[in-house]
Amino acid sequence: MPDRARLPELGLRPGEPVRFRRGTRWHEGRLVGIEADGSLQVSDRKGAARSLPLACIEVRREGPRGAAVWRSVPAVISQPEQLDLW
């Protein structure tokens, strides 16, 4: 059973859109939680659950000019989170 409560500690949110590479193509899905072995569980578009290593997943974040960009999970985890003012 994936642990959803530990995702905010890593700067991630359950249900967040992610993408992962299988072969040469990117596939989109939603983040579910953290597995016991430390991998992330992702639900793909068909609803299948996949456990993938952190380095194989990218999350959608706001870029420096406000546009959506894909960033690798290890880069998101190592970056300090900017808190909202209000």
Classify residue 44 by burial, with Cβ atoms within 10 Å: 0-12, 13-18, 19+. middle
Please tell me the distance from the alpha carbon of residue 84 to that of residue 3, in angstroms, as a whole number: 26
CATH class name, domain 7-74: mainly beta
Residues 6+ apart with CB under 8 A from 3: 33, 34, 35, 36
The model's pTM is 0.78
Residue in the structure block whose two tokens are 């859109």: 17
Cα 13 to chain centroid distance, Å, stands at 8
Write the pLDDT tens digit of every residue in 25-83.
Answer: 999 999 999 998 889 999 988 999 999 998 899 999 888 888 889 999 888 887 666 55
**Domain boundaries in the chain?**
7-74
